[in-house]
Amino acid sequence: MTLSVSPTSVARGGSITATWAGIPSPTSTDWLGLYTPGSPDNNTYQAWHFTTGSASGSIAFPIPATLPAGTYELRLYAHNTYTRLATSNPIVVPENWTGR
């Protein structure tokens, strides 16, 4: 399974595109969570969004306007559980966004 995001740098209040592939048994309750790297697989997520219920796909994932600057990652979980299927590349939320 794979999970990637683009762009990899985004302003607070913006959005990224999450793209996944290879979910073996997709359901409408598979979901994505925005986490700080190294944090536990639980409700410490900063934001979350259901997938489309497809084995492969993509969605726009909004970044909270109140999110602190830092490095984050998306995690893909199965069927409304904390069974992690994949982790994305890093996402940087800069302190001062310059649009680059």
Q: Are 73 and 88 in contact (CB under 8 A)?
A: yes
Domains in the chain (CATH in brackets) are 2-93 (2.60.40.2840)
pLDDT of 98 above 80: no
Transcribe 39-50 into DSSP letters: --SSTT-SEEEE
Question: Is the previous residue joined to 68 through a cis bond, with omega within 30 degrees of 0?
Answer: no
The predicted-structure confidence for 8-53, as pLDDT tens digits, reads as follows 999 999 999 999 999 999 999 999 999 999 999 999 999 999 999 9
* Residue 35 neighbours by CB under 8 Å, 6+ apart: 44, 45, 46, 72, 73, 74, 75
Distance between CA atoms of residues 1 and 94, nearest Å: 28
* pTM, two decimal places: 0.94
